[in-house]
Structure 1
Amino acid sequence: MNFTSFIGQAQTAIDGKGRTSFPRDFRRQLSAADGNEFVVTRGPDQTLRLFVLSEYEKFMADLDQRSDRRQTDLVRRGLCATFVELDGQNRILLPKILLEYAGLKDEVLYVQASGKTLELWNPDRFNAKYGLQTNEAMAAFDAAFYGEGLTEGPDGKR
């Protein structure tokens, strides 16, 4: 498989040292060029972002293109970017400061973002925001899904 974007979600445990298994499904989606080295940063909504190195370089280049230098500097300083790599047991070590920021204790939910980037969520926080646990949430999802003409709606029309 040679994906240009990650696909899927996976939940794994976090041990007492802050290590978490990098999910097998996502490891299978890595190319040889992606390697086993990543950058983890703070993300929006009290999440973490896990970038393959090439995606992190693209992100930083896009950030540098912003016209508002103050905003760019604020984001750069707030990222708390950390280099991580898979150990021999396919785990990554998440820094304590980032674990605290994202409210990650026992488990982490890996969620696809854009390209070869993942969001790392507190599972409860993710489910509260995106869990489709009410009829209103399901209706909003259906409207968003069918609203852009991505697929046929329930009536068989685009």
Structure 2
Amino acid sequence: MSNFLGEFDCKLDAKGRMMIPSGLRKQLPEAEREGLVINRGFEKHLVIYTRKEWDLIIADLAKLNQYEKRTREFIRYFTRGATELTLDAAGRILLPKALLEYAGIGNDLVLACQLNKIEVWDSKVYDLQMDSEPENFANLAEEVMGGMGRRADG
């Protein structure tokens, strides 16, 4: 499993292509060979996975009981719009217009690395999201991570 690090400001060109920033590209050595997959996020953003990570997710989905209606709905919505991305010779990827419209992404966007995936946000939406940080982040950390038994200084 890959773990990505960083936030990157990017721009789309007139054809909807985005240059992968060099700092991120170094973290994606297999992307040129295996490709990437972009999909809808749970909020109004997009998510990029390495092909290897996407295959692991699909394998997990295949284990679910597809005789259950809620499972079928989840799989259908989760995989809706999933598209393979390939880097061109200049290190650009073409982001699907339908997915950009779904997420309300304009020409200025942010790539926010989140563990094993890269979130793609419209810059203004991302800034608003990050500006709404909980008043007491320590309480949120305790609520989410308190039972993990790990030690973190912060």
Structure 2 gaps, min length 5: none
Structure 2 contact 32–86 (Cα < 8 Å) conserved: no
Judge which range, 63-72 or 94-103, deviates more: 63-72
Structure 2 contact 31–50 (Cα < 8 Å) conserved: no
Question: 2:85 — aligned with what?
Answer: 84
Q: Distance in 1 between matches of 2:71 and 2:137?
A: 32
Alignment of 1:73-152 (within 5 A): 73-78=72-77, 79-115=80-116, 117-131=117-131, 137=133, 139-145=135-141, 148=146, 150-152=151-153
Structure 1 contact 49–118 (Cα < 8 Å) conserved: yes
**AA paired with 2:73?**
L
Deviation at 1:150, TM superposition (A): 4.1
**AA paired with 2:136?**
A
- Post-superposition CA distance 1:26-84 (Å, at most 9, x none): 11112348736111111111111111100000111122233464333323333211111
Deviation at 1:145, TM superposition (A): 4.2
**Alpha carbons of 1:44 and 1:152: their partners in 2 closer, same or farther (altered >3 Å)?**
same
Q: Does 1:57 align with 2:65?
A: no
Identity %: 28
- Cα RMSD for the two superposed structures: 2.4
Structure 2 contact 34–51 (Cα < 8 Å) conserved: no
Q: Distance in 1 between matches of 2:18 and 2:32?
A: 19
Question: 2:28 — aligned with what?
Answer: 30
Deviation at 1:128, TM superposition (A): 1.4
Question: 2:6 — aligned with what?
Answer: 8
**AA paired with 1:82?**
T
Find runs of 4+ consecutive structure 1 residues off by over 6 angstroms: none
**Alpha carbons of 1:70 and 1:139: their partners in 2 closer, same or farther (altered >3 Å)?**
same
**AA paired with 2:54?**
Y
Q: Aligned residue pairs: how many?
A: 146
Q: Distance in 1 between matches of 2:21 and 2:59?
A: 28
TM-score normalised to structure 2 length: 0.80
Q: Distance in 2 between matches of 1:99 and 1:80?
A: 11
Question: 1:20 — aligned with what?
Answer: 18
Q: Distance in 2 between matches of 1:53 and 1:64?
A: 16
Structure 1 gaps, min length 5: 154-158
